[in-house]
Amino acid sequence: MIMDNKISLNGKIIDTPITFANEQDEIRINKKKIVLKKKIEIYKYFKPKKILCSKKKQDSRQIIYEILSSKFKNFIFAGRLDFNSEGLIILTNSSEVTRNLENPSNNFSRIYEVRVYGEFDKTSLKNKSNGSNIKGTRYKPFKFNIKSKIKKNTNLEMTLHEGKKNEIREIFKSINLQVNKLKRIQHGPFILSDMKPGEIKKATKHEIDQYENYIRNKKR
């Protein structure tokens, strides 16, 4: 094709195979631009407790990239969890995927298993679930379902659509309850299922299809 003058580099026909190009260069074959598409990869990771969701070391505490395989050193995560929380983190090589999952306007649900300690008052939490302002921060409405109650420990399932920093902990702190377990089990269509702490799995085709269909419909 080079000998037939069919390939151009940055608008100039090339006449020798000894031609260097990089990702920023424009390559055309028969005047048609070649577009290099990166294959998007999406993984589910069960972040254990006592691990930081951070790209860089902040102190002596371990970060997720210290315990992940080197394969994932250039992956980025969606859905930050605090040091004492555990559960589902999405790892991907696509910044667009992370933006879509974290953008509040896309309204992806985040589901958590939560255990709180103290004198539980359903009415107080119900009031907060309609949306609240805590220490100058506005939190959107959320849903909750009480799963069980043993003495002063109450187990709940909570569904949020925003995911602000320490949102769940701040909500319960405002009604004098202490969160002593926080585990994310779902983010959008991606489900933790029966994964174990530290385990990583490829997102299923069904989960990825659901994600892509949702984003496609949002853009219409």
**Per residue in 5-20, pLDDT tens?**
999 999 999 999 999 9
Pairing outcome for strands 200-202 and 190-191: unpaired
pTM above 0.75, yes or no: yes
**Per residue in 67-121, pLDDT tens?**
999 999 999 999 899 999 999 999 999 999 999 999 988 999 999 999 999 999 9
**Per residue in 108-131, pLDDT tens?**
999 999 999 999 999 999 999 999
Residues 175-194 have a mean pLDDT of 97
**Per residue in 141-164, pLDDT tens?**
999 999 999 999 999 999 999 878
The set of residues, in sequence order, having a beta carbon less than 8 Å from that of 211 and lying 6+ positions away, is 42, 97, 100, 188, 189, 190, 203
Annotation says 82 is catalytic: yes
What domains appear along the chain, each with residue ranges and CATH number? Answer: 1-36 (3.10.290.10), 42-219 (3.30.2350.10)
**Annotated catalytic residue, options 59, 82, 121, 209:** 82
